C-alpha cells in the first residue's frame, strides 16, 4: 500500500521531511510506503538542499491539497495564512493533516478541530511543540489514565540558549541575544521568542491536550526574558536556583458546572538546582508532566531544528498510515489519536493564582530596612522563606526576598505597601519561583 | 461502549489498576468505558487495598481469561508461569493482552509475538520497562522515522537508589543495600536487581522495539553493581563522573544479509557529570534514545511503584480501547501499535565491541610505574585520556586510567600485559565510561 504525501512548504522542516522519505532504509518499514507526491513552494527556482524531481514542485498550494494522489497533507510552511485556509481545505476534502504550525493551532485550534471532527479526519501536531521530543503523542496516548495536575516546560529553545549563557558567563541579556542572532539561534526579530509568545502558543496546545479542552490563548499571562537582569540570574545562582523561561499549565479545581479551572502562564522562573528542568541547557527543551497516579514524568530533547522537527512530522504521518491499516479509509477515529476535547477549560483570575515569588528591592543602606520589609509581607499574610541582602551598585543595598507560596493578590498588596516605604527606592525585579 | 477488563493478579500493580478504573472522573473519558469484570487472585480471603465486590474475585485465572465478558486480559501477576501460559491462552481466544511482565516478555517475547500476530491481537507492554515513563509507546509510535543509533538507560530503580546513596554519602555497597532492603527499595533476594538481570530483561525489550527484531536475551553481557567498590565511585566523582548502572543497545552496522548488528549490554558506567542521564537520582529511571535525524531524546520518571506502573498499564488498555473504535473487533492491526518485528537482529562478538574504559590498578609506589602502564596500553594501540595516581591504602598506590574508545580485544590485550608488570599488584576495578 502506497500513501501519497503532499508537502506544503520546503523550508528547513519540509526539506527534513523530504530527506527522511527519500531514504527509508533503516527506518520503520512503513516509511517505505510513503511517497512524496507533490510539494508546494514559493519559488520554483530556489536551490534545494534535497534533490527532488522538478515535476513534484508547484507554486499552487491548493492544487497540492486537491491532488487526488495526495492522501495526507503535511503543512510545514508556517505563518497563519494561507496555512489555516489550506489546512481547512484539506480537512474539507477528507484528507488527514499533519502540521508543525504551533501559531495556527494555538489560535485556530478550535476551528480546525471542529472541522476535523465533523469530517472525521485526523489533524496531528507532534512537531508543533518540543521539536523532536515525543510529547503530543504521549500526552494523548500514554497518560490518559491520569488526572493531570501540572504541565510545565522549557519549550522555547532560543530563550533557553540565552538564559544558559547568561548563567554560565554572567553575561547581559542584550549581549547574548546579539550573539545568538549572529549564530542563528535567534531570529532577526526575536520578539515571539524573547517576549514569551512562542512559549504561550505551545503551552496553550499542551494544556488543551492534557486537560481535554481548548484553552483561550489570549488569556495566557505571558512574560518574557527581555527585561531580565543578569544580576537576578547571578543572585538566583547564589541562592541555589537556576532561572528558566517556564511555561506552566496547572489544574486549580473545578467550577460548579464542571469546568476545569486552569492557571496557564509563561514567565521567567527560579528553579531549585536539583529540579529535573534545571539541568536543561542550551537549545534543548523539556516538558514535565505531573499526574495522579503517574507522578512526575519528563520528556527531554532538541526543541527545534530540521532533523528533530522532521522526525516529529514523520511520526504523525506514520500514525495516520498505521491506523489506516486498521479499518481503511472509511474507518472511525481513534479517540486517543484524534484527541477531541471532552471538557470545558477556563483560566482562573490571575489575582487568585498562587505562586512562590522572588523579589529584588533596591533600598537605602540603613538599619531596620529588612525588618520593615518583613513587616509589610507579614501584614499582608505573605510568609517569607528568605531575605538576603546583597551589595548594591553605588551606595544603596539590594535585598532579595523569596516568599512561600501565596495568592497573587496578597503578594501584590504587600508589594504596594513596600513601595511606600521611605527606605525602598524601587522594586527592581519580580520573578516566580518553583 | 463498555469494555470488559479481566485482571490477572491483584498485587501492587493490579490494585493500582483497579483503583484507576474505580474512579474514572477527571481522567480521559475512555477510562469510564472500562469495566473490571473479573480478577484472578491467589487467596480470596486476603485483605485488599481497593474495595472490590467479592464476586469479581476468583482463584481460577483460566476462567478469568475465558470469561466472555472479558474483552482485554491484563496480566499483572508477574513470574514466568503461569503468566506465559495465560497470556498465550488469551491470545488463542482472540483477546488482546496488556502485561507488565518484563521477565516473560524478555524470555518468551518471540513466542508470544508470533502467537499474537497469527491471531491478530495486540500484546502491549508499556509497564514492562520504566514504570510510569511512556517509553514503549513513543518508541513504537513516535520515533519510527528514525534510524536508531543507541538506546541507553537507567532502567533499574533499586540499583540507581543504591548508587545515588553511595555517591552522596560515600557509603559502601553492602551497607546501602541493607538499608535499601529495610526501606523496601530492594527485595530480600536482591540478585535480579543488583546483578543486572532485571535491567538486561528490559534492555532486551527496548532493543527489540527500537531495532525492529527480537534480541537474544541470553546473549546480553550483564554486569551488576554487586562488586562495585565505593572507592571507584569516589574516584569517578573526583574525575568529573557519576557511576550509574547503564543498559545500552547500540547499532553496530549490518551483516551482508541485512541482519542488524547490535551491541547490547548492562554494566556500571561512568557518565560525565553533564550527561543527561547523570542527573537521574534515586529510584527514578530514564531512557535516552539517539537517532537520525531526531538527535537525543530522553524519557524520565518513576521507574516503579503501584501508581506509575498502573498508569502505564491503563495507557495500554486505553490504546486497545481507542483503536477498537476505528474498525471494530474484526479490524486489522495498526503495525505501529502491534510492533511486529521487521528485521533480524544479532549480537556482535563482545571482543569486537568498542568502549571507553576506566581501570583502577593497585601498584607499588615507585617511580616509573605510570610510564610502564602507559607503554602497555600504547603497545596494544589503546590511547589514553588520563592517568591519575591516587593514594592507595597501606603503602601501595592506586592508579586510575581512563582510555579513549577502543576495541574490547585490544583493551584486554593491554590489561593482560599490565598484569605481568612487577610493579602492578592487581587490576582492582574495570568499568565502562561514556
What domains are there in chain B, each with its CATH number? Answer: 3-135+306-343 (3.40.50.720), 143-302 (3.30.360.10), 353-433 (3.30.70.260)
Q: Please indicate whether, in this complex, the C-beta atoms of A298 and B295 are within 8 angstroms of each other.
A: no
Check whether B328 has a pLDDT greater than 70.
no
Band (pLDDT 50/70/90 cuts) for residue A393 is low
**Cell output for B247:** 543498559
What are the backbone angles phi and psi of residue B358, rounded to the nearest 5°? -115, 125
Q: How much is the pLDDT for B336?
A: 95
The confidence band for A392, taking pLDDT boundaries of 50, 70 and 90, is low
Nearest CA in chain A to B276: A279
The grid cell for B106 is 524478555
Q: How far is CA A345 from CA A138, A206, A207, A377, in A?
A: 21, 13, 9, 33
* Residues listed for chain A: 434
Q: Which three cell numbers stand for residue B367?
A: 617511580
**Among residues of chain B, what percentage have pLDDT more than 70?**
99
> How far is CA B420 from each of CA B13, B371, B415, B428, rounded to the nearest angstrom?
53, 15, 9, 14
Which of B254, B293, B308, B318 to probe the A interface (max A CBs under 10 A)?
Answer: B293
Of the candidates B230, B213, B224, B278, which has an alpha carbon nearest to the alpha carbon of residue B247?
A: B224
pLDDT band at A93 (very low <50, low <70, confident <90, very high): very high
Cell reading at B188: 530480600
Lookup: cell for A171: 553575561
* pLDDT score of A111: 96
Contact flag B141-A141 (C-beta cutoff 8 Å): yes
B376 CB burial (10 A radius; 0-12, 13-18, 19+) = buried
Chain-chain contact of A141 with B145 (C-beta, under 8 angstroms) = no
**Nearest chain B alpha carbon to A324:** B334
- Interface contacts A/B by beta carbons within 8 Å: 226
Are the C-beta atoms of residues B251 and B150 closer than 8 Å to each other?
yes
Q: Provide the strand spans (E) within A57-140.
A: 57-58, 72-75, 97-99, 123-124
> What letter would DSSP give residue B219?
G
Q: Which of A144-153, A251-260, B96-105 has the lowest mean pLDDT?
A: A251-260
Dihedral sign, CA of A346, A351, A357, A359? positive
The arithmetic mean of pLDDT across residues B307-334, rounded, is: 90
Q: Would you place residue A328 in the very low, low, confident or very high pLDDT band (cuts 50, 70, 90)?
A: low
Grid-cell match 476535523, residue found: A116
CA distance A351 to A406: 11
Pairing status of strand B221-222 against strand B147-154? unpaired
* Alpha-helix residue ranges (DSSP H) falling in B126-229: 136-141, 157-169, 173-183, 191-194, 197-211
Cβ–Cβ < 8 Å for A123, A113: yes
Q: Which residue of A has its CA nearest to B21?
A: A145
Q: Is the pLDDT at B329 greater than 70, yes or no?
A: no
Alpha helix segments (H runs only) across A279-422: 306-327, 335-338, 369-379, 408-419
* Higher local confidence (pLDDT), B241 or B257: B241
Contact assessment for residue B81 and residue B108, using Cβ atoms and an 8 Å cutoff = no
Taking the CB of residue A68, how many other CB atoms lie within 10 A of it?
8
B327 falls in which pLDDT band (50, 70, 90)? confident
Nearest neighbour of B311 by CB, restricted to A145, A318, A337: A145
In sequence order, the 6+-apart residues with CB closer than 8 A to the CB of A45 are none
Cβ of B302 within 8 Å of Cβ of A294? The answer is yes
Average pLDDT (A283-303) is: 97
Average pLDDT, integer, range B30-57? 92
Mean pLDDT of A347-366: 93
Residue B132 has its nearest CB partner, among A144, A295, A315, at A295
- Contact criterion met (CB < 8 Å) for B293 and A328: no
Q: State the best of B76, B297, B339 to mutate against chain A, taking most chain A CBs within 10 Å.
A: B297
Secondary structure, 3-state, B350-373: HHHCEEEEEEEEEECCCCCHHHHH
The upper half-sphere exposure of residue B317, i.e. CA atoms within 13 Å in the direction of its Cβ, equals 37
**Among candidates A281, A301, A319 on the partner chain, residue whose Cβ is nearest the Cβ of B141:** A319
Q: According to the model, what pLDDT value does residue B292 have?
A: 98
B399 and B363 Cβ atoms separated by less than 8 Å: yes
Question: Residue B241: is it exposed, middle or buried by C-beta count within 10 angstroms (0-12/13-18/19+)?
Answer: buried
Contact B308 A293 (CB under 8 A): yes
**Taking residues A313-330, what's their average pLDDT?**
89
Catalytic residue among A95, A102, A202, A244: A202
The mean pLDDT value for A138-162 works out to: 97
What is each CA distance from A69 to A22, A44, A391, B219, in whole angstroms? 18, 21, 69, 47
Active site residues of B: 202
Q: Which of A131, A141, A280 best probes binding to B when mutated, by most B CB atoms within 10 angstroms?
A: A141
| Measured distance CA(A185)–CA(A179) in Å, rounded | 9
Q: State chain B's mean pLDDT as an integer.
A: 94
β-pairing, A354-363 vs A397-403, is antiparallel
**Mean pLDDT confidence for A422-431:** 95
Crossing angle for the helix pair B369-379 and B408-419, to the nearest 10 degrees:
140
pLDDT in the model for residue B45: 87
Q: How far apart are CA A38 and CA A8, in angstroms?
A: 8
Length of chain B: 434
Q: DSSP secondary-structure letter at B59?
A: S
B120: left (phi over 0), alpha (psi -120 to 50) or beta: left
Query: What is the grid cell recorded at A406?
Result: 501565596
Tell me the HSE value of A117 on the side-chain side, using a 13 A CA sphere.
13
Is the ipTM here above 0.85?
A: yes
Contact B400, B374 (CB under 8 A): no
Q: Is cis: bond before B82, omega within 30 of 0?
A: yes
Q: What is the pLDDT of residues B158-193, one digit of tens each?
A: 999 999 999 999 999 999 999 999 998 899 999 999
Question: What is the grid cell recorded at B83?
Answer: 503468566
The pLDDT of residue B367: 86
Q: Rounded distance, CA B295 to CA A133, Å?
A: 10
> What average pLDDT does this structure show over B105-127?
95
Q: Give the nearest chain B residue to A322 (CA atoms).
A: B334
State mean pLDDT over A345-363: 95
B339: left (phi over 0), alpha (psi -120 to 50) or beta: left
| Residues of chain A contacting residue B134, judged by C-beta atoms under 8 Å apart | 134, 138, 141-143, 297
Burial of A329 (0-12, 13-18, 19+ CB in 10 A): exposed
Q: Give me A307's grid cell.
A: 532533523
Are the Cβ atoms of B293 and A307 closer than 8 angstroms? yes
Our CA-based measurement puts residue B272 at a distance from the nearest CA of chain A, in whole angstroms, of 14
Place of cell 544558559: A164
pLDDT of residue B47: 85
Q: Return the pLDDT at A96.
A: 97
Are the C-beta atoms of B389 and B323 separated by less than 8 Å? no
pLDDT, averaged across chain A: 94
Please give the C-alpha separations between residue B410 and each of A404, B124, B425, in angstroms, as whole numbers: 58, 42, 21
pLDDT digits (tens, 9 = 90+) for B189-238: 999 999 999 999 999 999 999 999 999 999 999 999 999 999 999 999 99
**Of residues B53, B36, B33, the one with CA closest to residue B44:** B53
How far apart are the C-alpha atoms of B177 and B194, rounded to whole Å? 9
Q: How far is B418 from chain A (nearest CA, A)?
A: 40
pTM of the model: 0.96
Q: How many CB atoms lie within 10 A of CB A357?
A: 24
The answer on pLDDT for A48 being more than 90 is no
The answer to whether A31 contacts B294, with C-beta atoms less than 8 Å apart, is no
The reply to whether residue A312 touches residue B132, judged by beta carbons under 8 angstroms, is: no
Give the three-class secondary structure for B41: coil
Amino acid at each position: 500500500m502506497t500513501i501519497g504525501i503532499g508537502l506544503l512548504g520546503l523550508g528547513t522542516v519540509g526539506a527534513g521531511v523530504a530527506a527522511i522519505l527519500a531514504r527509508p532504509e533503516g527506518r520503520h518499514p512503513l516509511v517505505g510506503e510513503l511517497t512524496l507526491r507533490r510539494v508546494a513552494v514559493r519559488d520554483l527556482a530556489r536551490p534545494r538542499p534535497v534533490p527532488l524531481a522538478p515535476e513534484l514542485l508547484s507554486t499552487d498550494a491548493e492544487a497540492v491539497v486537491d491532488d487526488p494522489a495526495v492522501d495526507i497533507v503535511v503543512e510545514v510552511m508556517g505563518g497563519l495564512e494561507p496555512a489555516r485556509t489550506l489546512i481547512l481545505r484539506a480537512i474539507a476534502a477528507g484528507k488527514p493533516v499533519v502540521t508543525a504550525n504551533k501559531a495556527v493551532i494555538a489560535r485556530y485550534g478550535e476551528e480546525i478541530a471542529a472541522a476535523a471532527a465533523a469530517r472525521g479526519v485526523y489533524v496531528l501536531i507532534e512537531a508543533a511543540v518540543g521539536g523532536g521530543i515525543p510529547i503530543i503523542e504521549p500526552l494523548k496516548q500514554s497518560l490518559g489514565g491520569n488526572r493531570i495536575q501540572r504541565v510545565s516546560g522549557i519549550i522555547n529553545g532560543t530563550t533557553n540558549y540565552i538564559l544558559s549563557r547568561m548563567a554560565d558567563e554572567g553575561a547581559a541579556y542584550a549581549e547574548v541575544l546579539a550573539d545568538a542572532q549572529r549564530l542563528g539561534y535567534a531570529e532577526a526579530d526575536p520578539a515571539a521568542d524573547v517576549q514569551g509568545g512562542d512559549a504561550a502558543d505551545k503551552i496553550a496546545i499542551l494544556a488543551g491536550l492534557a486537560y481535554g479542552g481548548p484553552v483561550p490563548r489570549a488569556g495566557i499571562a505571558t512574560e518574557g526574558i527581555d527585561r531580565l537582569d543578569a544580576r537576578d540570574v547571578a543572585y538566583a545562582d547564589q541562592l541555589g536556583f537556576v532561572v528558566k523561561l517556564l511555561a506552566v499549565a496547572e489544574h486549580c479545581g473545578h467550577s460548579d458546572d464542571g469546568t476545569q479551572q486552569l492557571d496557564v502562564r509563561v514567565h521567567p522562573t527560579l528553579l531549585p538546582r536539583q529540579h529535573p528542568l534545571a539541568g536543561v541547557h542550551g537549545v534543548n527543551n523539556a516538558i514535565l508532566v505531573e499526574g495522579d497516579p503517574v507522578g512526575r514524568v519528563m520528556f527531554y530533547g532538541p526543541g527545534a531544528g530540521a532533523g528533530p522537527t522532521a522526525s516529529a512530522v514523520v511520526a504523525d504521518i506514520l500514525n495516520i498510515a498505521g491506523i489506516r491499516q486498521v479499518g481503511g479509509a472509511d474507518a472511525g477515529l481513534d479517540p486517543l489519536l484524534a484527541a477531541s476535547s471532552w471538557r470545558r477549560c477556563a483560566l482562573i483570575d490571575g489575582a487568585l493564582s498562587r505562586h512562590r515569588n522572588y523579589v529584588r528591592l533596591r533600598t537605602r543602606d540603613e538599619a531596620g530596612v529588612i525588618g520593615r520589609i518583613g513587616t509589610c509581607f507579614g501584614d499582608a499574610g505573605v510568609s517569607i522563606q528568605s531575605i538576603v541582602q546583597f551589595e548594591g551598585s553605588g551606595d544603596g543595598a539590594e535585598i532579595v526576598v523569596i516568599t512561600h507560596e501565596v495568592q497573587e493578590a496578597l503578594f501584590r498588596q504587600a508589594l504596594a505597601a513596600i513601595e511606600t516605604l521611605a527606605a525602598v527606592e524601587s522594586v527592581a525585579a519580580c520573578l516566580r519561583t518553583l
